[in-house]
Amino acid sequence: MTPDYDLAVIGGGPAGVAGALTGALAGLGVVLLDAAPRLGGQYFRRPAPGFRAARPGALHRGLDRFTRQCDDLAGRADVLTGHRVWAVGRDGGTVTVRCLAGDREERPRTVTARRLLIATGAHDRPLPFPGWDLPGVLTPGAAQALLKGDLVVAGRRVVVAGTGPFLLPVAAGLAAAGARVLGVHEAGGRGGLTRHPFLAAGKLAEAFGYGARLARHRVPYRGRQAVIEAHGGDALTHVTIADLDRDWRPVATRTVACDTLACGYGFVAQLDLPVQLGCALRADPYGDLAVTVDAGMRTSVPGVYAAGETTGVGGAVLAEAEGRIAGRAVAADLGRRVPPDPVLSRRRDRLAAFARALGEAYPVRPGWRGWLRDDTLICRCEEVPLSAVREAVELGATDARSVKSLSRAGMGWCQGRMCGYAVSRLAGGAAAGDSRDGGQARPGAGPAAFHRPIAQPVRLGDLAGMAAEAPPPGPPGAPAEAPRPPTEG
Ligand SMILES: Cc1cc2nc3c(=O)[nH]c(=O)nc-3n(C[C@H](O)[C@H](O)[C@H](O)COP(=O)(O)OP(=O)(O)OC[C@H]3O[C@@H](n4cnc5c(N)ncnc54)[C@H](O)[C@@H]3O)c2cc1C
């Protein structure tokens, strides 16, 4: 069977759009699929068509350039928004992408291509604490997504907590949008960015910019503090904030009344689809996993490329550079003449080094386990408390996958995206001793712990229908013209 396209790109953030556009400009037949109703990914998330922010672009630098890229891409490739990819496969030289298309009435659709670029980004990393399942508690990424994508301010009296530089734009954005931000509580200490000389060179000006905006709104920024408990009945009413020691053990506490808490500890690469294909992963020194790629963003699986935060968390600018490199590599591998671009490669290396340094400046310390009680829910979807996770470990579970089998932790709607980090640390850390967050040697038992044949919720009827699947008709919202055919190369 001749594949529908030369290149299928999954993910319409900075990495995916850059990769698809680069491939299309090189003459490839390209399709880009994204679950969201509009291109943009996390950084360039925009309101749905028909809604307009009061100050478009105020929350994203470089939006005009990205919009031009999207417009250019729309004229050169098939852009399928509202397409949730739930499975990818590879047979010989053809990759198969199975997705559900459409807003309300989703229909199954299958796309085939000669090459696949996975650019599915990252997701928030929350840590559990008593009360984190209360309405009003959300992640900083979710607060930012509400603001950027839905033009909704998450709450009136907001506490922002966790670790990492992302807390700053979230707090600044919420304050500028009218929320009363009661404080930013950085568990890692005030000087995260300044501690690393390399970082100081790269990000200090940006950090000072956010600092000035927070000062304008009288938002205090406190180091070595964390929210260790959220309180309320039907909704959040107040939080317990603790002063922490070096390892994040609480040394003193106080409570603060609020209706919203945005709390998160950085990001984790989204790996479902690369793991389905068997792409090799690498762990950084602290156990966070990402797809292994070569200098052309090729994964270990022939014909499959990865770019952006699936290859490691590093921000939108790095994601775009990697997308361009991947698009060029695909074109070259399909026989197009692509002159080397050493400047782009050096830029990627510089940005990737910066991202690594950023990760080192904001580690998760082991003391968070001391915030937990026996009845603290670790997996919110399946309501699995710490006691059940401990029981699983006592029964011999040594990783997230075996804890899941014994306790159901990670088996719910989010498929472990929210609790996976904590579960793997509680399992691995219990036996493996501590480095920075315990269990460094065994990051959730490696790729097997993440393997899911189905990456997105799918109706059983759709699954059953796959067996009798005919060549897919264009679903609602799909382009009217025939797929752009693969080209000879
Ligand atoms: C919730 C959240 C909010 C963030 N907000 C900011 C911010 O405001 N500022 C900032 O500097 N950084 C932010 N980041 C960091 C951000 O991830 C990067 O800076 C940048 O967006 C990464 O680009 P990317 O192209 O690698 O991935 P992304 O921009 O994340 O794009 C990935 C795309 O893949 C799509 N996708 C994922 N899985 C599937 C699937 N199975 N099927 C179809 N489509 C799929 C998603 O819909 C998304 O559009 C945020 C991260 C998260 C998780």
Whether 10 and 33 have beta carbons less than 8 Å apart is answered as yes
More confident position, 87 or 50: 87
| Residue 317 phi, psi (nearest 5) | -70, -45
pLDDT band at 439 (very low <50, low <70, confident <90, very high): very low
Q: Find the largest Cα–Cα distance for the chain.
A: 67
Instruction: Name the residue type at position 327.
Output: G
pLDDT band at 311 (very low <50, low <70, confident <90, very high): very high
pLDDT at 198: 61
Distance 329 CA to ligand 1 centre (A): 22
What tokens does 81 get? 């928004």
pLDDT at 149: 87
Question: Can you tell me which atom of ligand 1 is nearest the CA of 36?
Answer: 47
- Out of 61-70, 381-390, 465-474, the most confident range is 381-390
Task: List, for residues 321-359, the tens digit of each pLDDT value.
Answer: 999 999 999 999 999 999 989 999 999 999 998 888 888
pLDDT score of 191 more than 60:
yes
**Average pLDDT of the segment spanning 160-184:** 95
43, 80, 109, best to mutate for ligand 1 pocket (most atoms within 8 Å of CB): 43
In order, the DSSP letters of 314-381 are --HHHHHHHHHHHHHHHHHHTT------HHHHHHHHHHHHHHHHHHHHSPPPGGGGGG--TT-EEETT
- Out of 5-14, 87-96, 417-426, 443-452, the most confident range is 5-14
Could you give all domains of the chain from N- to C-terminal order, each with its CATH number? 5-123+268-358 (3.50.50.60), 126-265 (3.50.50.60), 367-459 (1.10.10)
pLDDT at 288: 81
Distance 13 CA to ligand 1 centre (A): 6
User: Which of these, 264, 268, 299, 266, lies nearest to 449 by C-alpha position?
Assistant: 268
Instruction: Name the residue type at position 383.
Output: E
Please tell me the least confidently modeled range out of 156-165, 217-226, 280-289, 374-383: 280-289
Sign of CA pseudo-dihedral 423, 424, 428, 433 = negative
More confident position, 451 or 301: 301
pLDDT band at 486 (very low <50, low <70, confident <90, very high): low
Task: List, for residues 245-264, the tens digit of each pLDDT value.
Answer: 999 999 999 999 999 999 99
Strands (E), 193-333: 221-223, 225-232, 236-244, 250-257, 260-264, 267-269, 281-283, 289-291, 304-306
Please tell me the least confidently modeled range out of 64-78, 219-233, 423-437: 423-437
pLDDT band at 1 (very low <50, low <70, confident <90, very high): confident
pLDDT band at 278 (very low <50, low <70, confident <90, very high): very high
pLDDT score of 470 more than 70:
no
Distance 268 CA to ligand 1 centre (A): 11
In whole angstroms, give the CA distance from residue 228 to residue 370: 9
Does the beta carbon of 34 lie inside 6 Å of ligand 1?
Answer: yes
pLDDT at 54: 64
Distance 131 CA to ligand 1 centre (A): 27
pLDDT at 438: 43
pLDDT at 253: 97
pLDDT score of 447 more than 70:
no
Distance 41 CA to ligand 1 centre (A): 4
pTM of the entire predicted model: 0.90
pLDDT at 192: 64
pLDDT at 249: 97
Distance 45 CA to ligand 1 centre (A): 8
Q: How does the average pLDDT of the chain come out, rounded?
A: 87
Residue with tokens 């994203």: 60
Share of the chain above pLDDT 90, in %: 67
**Cα 406 from chain centroid?**
27
Does the beta carbon of 319 lie inside 6 Å of ligand 1?
Answer: yes
**Average pLDDT of the segment spanning 182-210:** 75
In order, the DSSP letters of 437-489 are SS-TTSSTTSGGGG--S--S---HHHHHHHHTPPSPPPPTTS-SSPPPPPPP-
Task: List, for residues 99-156, the tens digit of each pLDDT value.
Answer: 999 877 788 899 999 999 999 999 999 999 999 999 999 999 999 999 988 889 999 9
pLDDT score of 26 more than 90:
yes
31, 38, 42, best to mutate for ligand 1 pocket (most atoms within 8 Å of CB): 42
